[in-house]
Amino acid sequence: MKKIIFSCLISLVWFHSFAQSEVKNDGELGSSKDYYNACWEMDKLSLTDNKDHVFAGDYSFLVSEGSRNSPSYLKSPWIELGEGNIKLDIKTLEKLGNGTIYAYFIRFDSENKKTGEGSDPELIDYYQLSKDELKKDEITDVRFKMPNEMVGEVAKIYLIFEPNGKDEGMAVDNVVIPGKYVSDPSSNCFPKVEIKDTDGDGVADEEDDYPEDKYKAFNNYLTPKGFGTLMFEDLWPAKGDYDFNDLVVGYKINRVTNAGGDVVEVVIDILPRAAGAGYSNGFGIEFTGISPTRIENVEGTKISSNSIHELMRNGLEEGNEHATIIVFDKVANVLTHPGGGAVGINTDPKFSLQSGEMMRIVMHIRPEIITTGPEIVMFRSREDPVRLKDLTMENFNPFLIVNQKRSVEVHLPGKLPTAHADKSLFGTKDDNSNGDESSYYKGKENGLPWGLNVTESIPYMVNKVDITQGYNMFYKWAASGGEAYPDWYLEKGGYRENKVLLNAK
């Protein structure tokens, strides 16, 4: 019984507060521009913090002398008008003769594409300030009763201040209009329109990438120009031939977020393009900083039945500190060798290019579902939600697994190995990895890497031709520490030698 009474009280309070909703303007933003941005309009009405004029808070509006052709006015945003009185406080200043305040309402007119304002404002009432009754600095409480026929209508309230004195006539403050603010500053201050939201996630269908899925709302691509390109050498820790084609994959990563901005799944499109190696290499991606326990499941990988990798139930590789996907354990699973004595796949122009198998891997972020009622389902992760800032290029750590040896990984320069890497290999042969994070997977003598990441789809080198011979500005870019030709990979005049480039897609 107590519960029922409490519920009734809550309902009454809610109804009461809704019925009493008001739109206020007390000038305290202190800036006409801020009020304009919030869909108020005014002319010959300035905000003042002059203590002689302010009579409530830190700011009041000061009426300048206006005329009927060019009135001093305050025009409200669109309001769904409520019952009650339009209220404002007036403080009379020196030399006010008589003065009048007019209150009009302006109906919405959908035919008026500029402002939506109807052409014939209707008078609500007016209030006369008579010099016989007024005393300097006296505050007058002005009220206009909202006409019953306007309650529930969407309209603007238009207040005109007509002082008949000279100089400073009156200050205005605490404007209160009964009703609900329904202007939309993101749509030129037109009234808000009812949105179609099929899945009920709060995102309008026309703005929702997944209008029928309440758990997904927006696509957020890590590489906005489409596929990026990853290129690896596989002789690490020994120096390679720098053709960077022992494994070439295109990648596109979409971090799908829900209406609240949490990443709910990561869609990884992988296009294997070339494998210029004699080795049977694999390919994986670590999402640094994302705990494996955060992942519900991974689907779409290509793992052999006799794989060297041990997988967790959720599809991630076992034994890693960070969420690690083995995309494919053997490149032959995703790229077909052309035969005929070719060394590698898609790296020798004498052989026809093989089409790689486009892979789509989906990594679902784990939610914890709490059902709070038959209709309402709330999601709460056991840990903090994964946000876009947790899945940037900083956290993207792709790597090659050399010739079915799990302990030999090749990462991009400056990226750290996974827990499976054989630490004893670091610093051996030509590798400079010395424990300092920035030193990993860089050449001891020349600082050159074993892997490159370009965030666009670019051609790669034919076999045994080093990258400086296909990309003329690569040398200058690298030698200058990235200062010169940061666009070395683009197709610009003189940038590429196409005869030594291949472009399997």
Three-state SS for 390-421 is HCCCCCEEEEEEHHHCCCCEEECCCCCCCCCC
Q: Cβ closer to other proteins: 375 or 445?
A: 445
Q: Cβ closer to other proteins: 215 or 351?
A: 215
Q: Cβ closer to other proteins: 185 or 278?
A: 185
- The C-alpha R_g of the chain, in whole angstroms, comes to 34
Q: How far is the CB of 8 from other proteins (least distance, A)?
A: 27
- At 271, list the tokens: 């296009």
33 three-state secondary structure: helix
Alpha helices (H) along 140-249? none
Q: Cβ closer to other proteins: 37 or 352?
A: 37
Yes or no: say if 325 and 317 are a contact pair by the CB < 8 Å rule: yes
Q: How far is the CB of 39 from other proteins (least distance, A)?
A: 7
Q: How far is the CB of 493 from other proteins (least distance, A)?
A: 15
Q: What torsion, rounded to 10 degrees, do the Cα atoms 276, 279, 280, 281 define?
A: -70
Tell me how far apart the alpha carbons of residues 54 and 242 are, in angstroms, rounded to a whole number.
Answer: 74
Q: Cβ closer to other proteins: 192 or 366?
A: 192
Q: How far is the CB of 141 from other proteins (least distance, A)?
A: 18
Q: Cβ closer to other proteins: 69 or 372?
A: 69
Q: Cβ closer to other proteins: 170 or 334?
A: 170
Q: How far is the CB of 208 from other proteins (least distance, A)?
A: 8
Q: Cβ closer to other proteins: 187 or 498?
A: 187
Is residue 283 within a helix (H) or strand (E), and if so which, with residue range? strand 282-287
Is residue 4 within a helix (H) or strand (E), and if so which, with residue range? helix 2-19
- At 325, list the tokens: 């996907």
Q: How far is the CB of 242 from other proteins (least distance, A)?
A: 5
CA angle 387, 362, 371 (to 5 degrees): 65
Other CB atoms within a 10 A radius of the CB of residue 177 amount to 28
Q: How far is the CB of 155 from other proteins (least distance, A)?
A: 12
Q: How far is the CB of 302 from other proteins (least distance, A)?
A: 27
Tell me how far apart the alpha carbons of residues 29 and 496 are, in angstroms, rounded to a whole number.
Answer: 57
With a CB cutoff of 8 Å and minimum separation 6, the contacts of 99 are 92, 128, 129, 161, 162, 163, 164, 165, 169, 170
Q: Cβ closer to other proteins: 296 or 466?
A: 466
At 186, the amino acid letter reads S
Alpha helices (H) along 192-323? none
CA dist list (Å): 220 to 262, 268, 496: 11, 12, 31
Q: How far is the CB of 156 from other proteins (least distance, A)?
A: 9
